[in-house]
Structure 1
């Protein structure tokens, strides 16, 4: 994963949004944590992995990928809030022994831990857990990056259109 490039792109987007909305001196950490949790919920809803009571299938892969990438945006943004740099982040790739629903809960637990600690180690754990979720959902790094690039453009367009 091209973390350095993604961090650079996210920094530019965050700066654009903060300048446009006069938020340069605001502490946005908790709002970004909540936004990430909302995005995780939206992602879970599209996968329908927890909906044992329903026979309706999950959304299309591209819809799920777009929701996943929304989470990537906020994870990167949280790292920037903590002034982490991609060069500090050494992500270990390993498969999750959990199922999709359990991995969603694991990600949420780690978000809560990271919110309190704001530590680099917990941030890396969050990235690793989120990438494990990606693997369980069938996404490759290349698919994630391409979807991130596309959604980044959409986010700029939304800012231009006063989203």
Structure 2
């Protein structure tokens, strides 16, 4: 995955949004954390992995990929907020015996750990756990990258249309 390019694109989008909405001097960290938690929940809802009471299948892979990428946007944005960049990142996807539901819970735990610590180690652990979830959902890093590029364009269009 071209992390350097993703960080650059996210930094430009964040700056565009913050300038447009007069938020350059605002501390957006907690709002971004909440946005990430919401996006992870939306992703879980599309996978339906926790819905033991239902026989309805998960959403199409494209829907799941788009929801996953929404989370990537906020993970990148949080890293930027903390002053991290791709050069500091060495992402290794951990081995795991967790099922998808437990991996979602694991990601939630890492979000909360990172929220408190705001350090590079907990950030990398969060990002790696999220990428592990992608692997479990059958998403490749190439698919994630391409979907990120597409969604980044959509996000700019939304800003131009006063989304």
Matches within 5 A, 1:60-139: 60-139=60-139
User: How far apart are the structure 2 equivalents of 1:25 and 1:159?
Assistant: 19
Q: TM-score, normalised by structure 1?
A: 0.99
User: How far apart are the structure 2 equivalents of 1:33 and 1:40?
Assistant: 11
Identify unmatched segments of 5+ residues in structure 2.
Answer: none
- Residue matched to 2:146: 146
User: How far apart are the structure 1 equivalents of 2:152 and 2:11?
Assistant: 11
Deviation sequence 1:24-82 (CA, Å, 0-9, x none): 00000000000000000000000000000000110000000000000000000000000
Deviation sequence 1:75-123 (CA, Å, 0-9, x none): 0000000000110011113332110000000000000000000010000
Shift >4 Å, 4+ stretches: none
**Contact 2:107–2:130, Cα closer than 8 Å, also in 1:** yes
Identify unmatched segments of 5+ residues in structure 1.
Answer: none
- Residue matched to 2:53: 53
Q: TM-score, normalised by structure 2?
A: 0.99
**Contact 2:3–2:86, Cα closer than 8 Å, also in 1:** yes
User: How far apart are the structure 2 equivalents of 1:44 and 1:106?
Assistant: 13
| Number of residues of Structure 1 aligned to a counterpart in Structure 2 | 163
Taking only aligned residues, the RMSD between alpha carbons, in angstroms, comes to 0.5
